[in-house]
Amino acid sequence: MDVPTLPIRRVGIDTWRESVVFLHRECPVVRAAGFQALAKVQVQANGNTLIAVLNVVDDAAICEPRELGLSEEAFRRLGVAPGHPARIEQAEPPASIAALHRKIAGERLERGDLHAIVQDIAAARYSKIELAAFVVATNQFELDRDEVFHLTEAMIAAGQRIDWQREVGAGPVVDKHCIGGIPGNRTSMLVVPIVAAHGMLCPKTSSRAITSPAGTADTMEVLAEVELPLERLKEITRATHGCLAWGGTADLSPADDILISVERPLAIDSPGQMVASILSKKVAAGSTHLVLDIPVGPTAKVRSMPEAQRLKRLFEYVAGRLGLELDAVITDGRQPVGRGIGPVLEARDVMRVLANHPEAPQDLRQKALRLAGRMIEFDPDVRGGDGYRIARDILESGRALAKMNAIIDAQGRRTQPFTLGTLSFDVTAPAYGTVIGVDNLRLARIARLSGAPQVRGAGVDLHVKLGERVRPGQLLYRVLAQFDADLEFARRMAADGSGFSLGAADQVPREYTAAPGEVL
List binders of a second copy among 13-32 (CB under 8 A).
13-16, 22, 25, 29-31
Q: How far apart are the C-alpha atoms of 293 and 512, rounded to whole Å?
A: 13
- Is residue 487 a contact residue for a second copy (CB under 8 A)? yes
Q: How far is the CB of 168 from a second copy (least distance, A)?
A: 33
Nearer to a second copy, 44 or 165 (CB): 44
Residues of this chain, 65-84, that bind a second copy according to CB under 8 A = 71-72
Contact assessment for residue 456 and residue 421, using Cβ atoms and an 8 Å cutoff: no
Nearer to a second copy, 62 or 355 (CB): 62
Q: How far is the CB of 88 from a second copy (least distance, A)?
A: 9
- Count other C-beta atoms under 10 Å from residue 330's C-beta: 21
Active site residue 332: no
Nearer to a second copy, 30 or 191 (CB): 30
Nearer to a second copy, 142 or 393 (CB): 142
> How far is CA 55 from its chain centroid?
30
Q: How far apart are the C-alpha atoms of 207 and 434, rounded to whole Å?
A: 36
Q: Of 265, 252, 322, 276, give the one whose Cα is nearest residue 117.
A: 276
Nearer to a second copy, 59 or 409 (CB): 59
Mark the segment that binds a second copy (CB under 8 A) among 7-15, 186-194, 359-367, 434-442.
7-15
Mark the segment that binds a second copy (CB under 8 A) among 55-63, 247-255, 398-406, 507-515.
55-63
- Count other C-beta atoms under 10 Å from residue 120's C-beta: 23
Judged by CB under 8 A, which of 55, 96, 277, 498 binds a second copy?
55
Q: Is 78 helix (H, G, I), strand (E, B) or coil?
A: helix
Residues of this chain, 201-260, that bind a second copy according to CB under 8 A = 210-211
Q: Which residues contact 270 (CB under 8 A, 6 or more apart)?
A: 138, 139, 140, 142, 143
- Is residue 442 a contact residue for a second copy (CB under 8 A)? no
Nearer to a second copy, 36 or 434 (CB): 36
Q: How far is the CB of 38 from a second copy (least distance, A)?
A: 7
Q: Which residues contact 84 (CB under 8 A, 6 or more apart)?
A: 7, 8, 45, 46
Q: How far apart are the C-alpha atoms of 343 and 41, rounded to whole Å?
A: 40
Judged by CB under 8 A, which of 48, 79, 82, 90 binds a second copy?
90
Residues of this chain, 266-295, that bind a second copy according to CB under 8 A = 266-268
Q: How far is the CB of 129 from a second copy (least distance, A)?
A: 4
Residues of this chain, 445-464, that bind a second copy according to CB under 8 A = 448-449, 451, 454-455
Residues of this chain, 106-145, that bind a second copy according to CB under 8 A = 106, 127-133, 135-137, 139-141
Q: Among the options 163, 251, 256, 269, which is catalytic?
A: 269
Q: How far is the CB of 397 from a second copy (least distance, A)?
A: 41
- Is residue 6 a contact residue for a second copy (CB under 8 A)? no
Q: How far is the CB of 356 from a second copy (least distance, A)?
A: 35
Contact assessment for residue 136 and residue 143, using Cβ atoms and an 8 Å cutoff: no
Q: How far apart are the C-alpha atoms of 355 and 304, rounded to whole Å?
A: 35
Q: How far is the CB of 345 from a second copy (least distance, A)?
A: 17
Q: State the first-to-last Cα distance of the chain, in angstroms, to the nearest integer.
A: 71
Q: How far apart are the C-alpha atoms of 246 and 210, rounded to whole Å?
A: 13
Q: How far is the CB of 451 from a second copy (least distance, A)?
A: 7
- Count other C-beta atoms under 10 Å from residue 380's C-beta: 7
Which residue(s) pair with 87 in the sheet? 44
Check the CA dihedral 58-60-62-65 and report its sign. Answer: positive
CA dihedral (325, 329, 335, 337) in degrees, to 10, reads -60
Mark the segment that binds a second copy (CB under 8 A) among 9-17, 179-187, 355-363, 374-382.
9-17
Contact assessment for residue 452 and residue 343, using Cβ atoms and an 8 Å cutoff: yes
- Is residue 102 a contact residue for a second copy (CB under 8 A)? no
Residues of this chain, 309-348, that bind a second copy according to CB under 8 A = none
Contact assessment for residue 115 and residue 157, using Cβ atoms and an 8 Å cutoff: yes
Residue 302 gets which letter from DSSP? B
Q: Of 216, 207, 279, 202, give the one whose Cα is nearest residue 248.
A: 207
> How far is CA 155 from its chain centroid?
16
Q: Is 278 helix (H, G, I), strand (E, B) or coil?
A: helix
Mark the segment that binds a second copy (CB under 8 A) among 49-57, 177-185, 353-361, 381-389.
49-57
Nearer to a second copy, 312 or 445 (CB): 445
- Is residue 62 a contact residue for a second copy (CB under 8 A)? yes
Nearer to a second copy, 211 or 507 (CB): 211
Q: How far is the CB of 5 from a second copy (least distance, A)?
A: 10
Active site amino acids: 269
